[in-house]
Structure 1
């Protein structure tokens, strides 16, 4: 097939991933505020969508990391990128169906790495860059966010002793509007840029851009920001339910502390260009808030399931992406394989949504 049409398929698939990222990760920003009744559910997701859109324009540091720090952009092909995106979308949809807050970021990186390994071999993967800018920060960031949340929660409850409890609770609920907005803004800054980086890689592979990834076209920014905001606006109610009620029984001081801690760590990671998982950071801060409140009921069993999903994300998305690349290669490489893969992925996505309707989760459930 023509390279122009293949580019269109890759860009469309990248934006589809961005959309799934939006509804998959809505919980990261708004689950705590919804759980503490600081913001009504539908208003919360609309606020998150607006802040996601705005956050996408703050910087391009994360987009640059994705475009040049994960795989060798001199050998990447459009077919490889398409296979990587299919792997990422598949993992996002499966974990969404199960209500597991796994990492969209790691699904994307795992998908691209898996497809590149299958297509070009290990030499085309920037192992040191992935270790330095993805793996190590991914291990440290949830711990840092959790530790800050422990201290913040302890301090928040100490401050409550100086006021009437009802006044303090109301104050923290109002404060959560600001902290939830911070997390949403940071989520847009970090996660929308990952799709920008993938589309930039596609433009380089197509020959539409030079190898310089320090400038992202405005239309790429607008499209990525719009897709993630649209996905966020529909609300990922399954994962909101897990994040807001499954890990810890949250109270306003805990929600405020978790959001402030997670938002601060996420903004810092975006500034330094670390493509981190918002899910990991916010989950770490929620657990930290649970530990920071004495006698809080932390559901460690669910936390263990989430950690297992995190550990499986990179290799699982990589495996699906590798199989997808071999499928397209076996069907004739970039001539016949990509449209067949695109069609199969679309059918699979629709099938998962149909299955999800048998067990719907609505705003009333969260």
Structure 2
């Protein structure tokens, strides 16, 4: 029975990875498509390929995610992880349906925390890791993304102030191919590793790979493939929100937002090992770059709805996951 549950949890984790891909595909392509730097099909292919490559570049974030909770050993611990995954998937689908760019990362971690608390109380959660690696970066990364994109865009405006606007925009439209690829690479580096961490937590909870630090290659490749396939499936509802409903972007502002987003993703992954939200980051960067037109150019009502989804994601995914855990616990009797 335990092996069957292990296989089930791994499959569900890959399903989450897939939903993460189509839910967050818009993060990497919305600005490039809305500015017509790339066609939707080319943008999706580029994002899918770079997501796959990015997933192979490190394991630091995966180890952080695998340490957010300490589930009970054996079958009971596997049920906790399964409940957390189902809660995260459910919240991802709800926010995708309504076109809200919420965080798959925080849905996943919130789901794990909710299921763990339902199973054994707060002692199963590593609160120091949650605070240092999740909550603090959750607050700081979008704030930094907003102001960094604002400053980068102001710099671009000053440097090219005497140039022909049409030529400048044409140049930045070409540059967006590079910045979109860099952002998609960072998305794979961050988000695919989160699923890797959960799968690694699953197999170690079941007693496999005890004492091993490096993730088995099958976990890395399967997670990379799942998020890449999900990305190729696209996320048009959310892309519309990011690309047009917040502000109508031009190529220069799209380049500024994507470049800042990519830089922060690499820094947090390689230096701080923190699983930040790509969604929060790029949305804030779009707002920051857009605010250089004038603050009223940003549709703050849409932004307010997005922030509400951000705030609700962690607790709501946790509540849904706790419910799934209770049902599974009752059915399986573990």
Q: TM-score, normalising length from structure 1?
A: 0.88
For the residues of structure 2 that align with 1:188 and 1:141, how far apart are their CA atoms? Answer: 17
Describe the SS at the equivalent of 1:292: coil
The answer to whether structure 1 residue 205 and structure 2 residue 190 are counterparts is no
* Count of residues in Structure 1 that have an aligned counterpart in Structure 2: 331
For the residues of structure 2 that align with 1:314 and 1:170, how far apart are their CA atoms? Answer: 40
User: What is the match of residue 310 of structure 1?
Assistant: 310
Residues 210 and 294 of structure 1, relative CA distance in 2, 3 Å threshold: same
User: What is the match of residue 229 of structure 2?
Assistant: 230
Distance apart, 1:322 and its partner CA: 0.4
Describe the SS at the equivalent of 2:297: coil
Contact 1:26-1:236 at 8 Å conserved across structures: yes
Describe the SS at the equivalent of 2:88: helix
Describe the SS at the equivalent of 2:332: coil
For the residues of structure 2 that align with 1:293 and 1:256, how far apart are their CA atoms? Answer: 15
User: What is the match of residue 168 of structure 1?
Assistant: 168
Distance apart, 1:330 and its partner CA: 1.4
The answer to whether structure 1 residue 177 and structure 2 residue 171 are counterparts is no
For the residues of structure 1 that align with 2:80 and 2:141, how far apart are their CA atoms? Answer: 30
For the residues of structure 2 that align with 1:295 and 1:97, how far apart are their CA atoms? Answer: 29
The answer to whether structure 1 residue 25 and structure 2 residue 24 are counterparts is yes
- Pairwise mapping of residues 200-279 of structure 1 onto structure 2 (< 5 A)? 200-212=200-212, 214-271=213-270, 272-279=272-279
Contact 2:71-2:80 at 8 Å conserved across structures: no
Q: Deviations over 1:117-164 (max 9, x none)?
A: 111211010112101110001100011111110011111222332322
Contact 1:287-1:298 at 8 Å conserved across structures: yes
For the residues of structure 1 that align with 2:177 and 2:333, how far apart are their CA atoms? Answer: 50
- Of stretches 290-299 and 23-32 in structure 1, the one that deviates more from structure 2 is 290-299
Q: TM-score, normalising length from structure 2?
A: 0.97
Distance apart, 1:72 and its partner CA: 1.6
For the residues of structure 2 that align with 1:301 and 1:241, how far apart are their CA atoms? Answer: 15
For the residues of structure 2 that align with 1:15 and 1:328, how far apart are their CA atoms? Answer: 19
Contact 1:27-1:240 at 8 Å conserved across structures: yes
User: What is the match of residue 112 of structure 2?
Assistant: 112
Distance apart, 1:59 and its partner CA: 0.7
- Pairwise mapping of residues 61-72 of structure 1 onto structure 2 (< 5 A)? 61-68=60-67, 70-72=68-70
For the residues of structure 2 that align with 1:141 and 1:73, how far apart are their CA atoms? Answer: 29
Contact 1:10-1:82 at 8 Å conserved across structures: yes
- Pairwise mapping of residues 148-159 of structure 1 onto structure 2 (< 5 A)? 148-159=148-159
Distance apart, 1:165 and its partner CA: 1.5
Contact 2:71-2:81 at 8 Å conserved across structures: no
- Point out where structure 1 has 5 or more consecutive residues left out of the alignment: 335-366
User: What is the match of residue 34 of structure 1?
Assistant: 33
Contact 1:145-1:288 at 8 Å conserved across structures: yes
Distance apart, 1:295 and its partner CA: 6.0
Distance apart, 1:74 and its partner CA: 5.9
